[in-house]
Amino acid sequence: MITRLFIIAVAPGLALALAAYLTDRYDREPLHLLIKVFVLGALSVIPTAIVERFLLSFNIFPGIFSAAYTAFIVAGFTEEFFKRGVVLRTAYYHRAFDEKLDGIIYAVFAALGFATIENIMYVVFRFAANPYVGLYRGILSVPAHMLFGVTMGYYLSLSRFARDEFHRKHFLRKALTVPVILHGIFDFILMARIPAFMGLFFPFVLYLWIVNLRKLNEYAKESKEIYIRAQAGWENRQNWE
């Protein structure tokens, strides 16, 4: 039983990580670095849990304000802060981070490492008696972490390749604030338990997919163009020789 639940818990994160890896088809990142980012993303659950518990002790707000505080500050800000921290301390300054698609790949791996451990905690331990938790989280929660990671990586890349310090810091801040807002909205709709809000949940999830797939496709197309130009340059050099 535990083995089956464990497989259910880890399968979505590993499958999405593989999909992200295969998306980066023209200039793939070092596998050892991706594993490092994934593992540290998983380990970031520990400081996240400590900070979240501390912040929850300050939740003195009533009703919907309590849900907003938990969604945006306790969960959204804390989780995205530590996931971004993983990328900044491992891949952001690494020489392998040499094109914009790389930012998305690293941020997604950090997010999926975090999401995988979080999923194990929920599916295997906290709600082991409920067979639907693994299905719900595999379809919604784990992919949501990946999509927040796409947004984070998009802005991390804009920061990494910014032409001046002002824009570098600007996009570095957006790599935190925008995922926090998206994460907060996602959690708030579920935590508020207001029927009118619940009607917005699936349109919001659809919005997340559309916007972030566009970001991913933008950088994937750019990666392909860089590869084609590099190949053309190499062929020209061969012809001259």
Parse the chain into domains and list their residue ranges: 2-240
pTM of the full structure:
0.94
DSSP assignment letter at 159: H
Give me the pLDDT at residue 108, please. 98
What tokens appear for 39 in the block? Answer: 């593992």
pLDDT in tens, 31-67: 999 999 999 999 999 999 999 999 999 999 999 999 9
pLDDT in tens, 131-178: 788 889 999 999 999 999 999 999 999 999 999 999 999 999 999 999
Query: Are residues 171 and 156 in contact, defined by beta-carbon separation less than 8 angstroms?
Result: yes
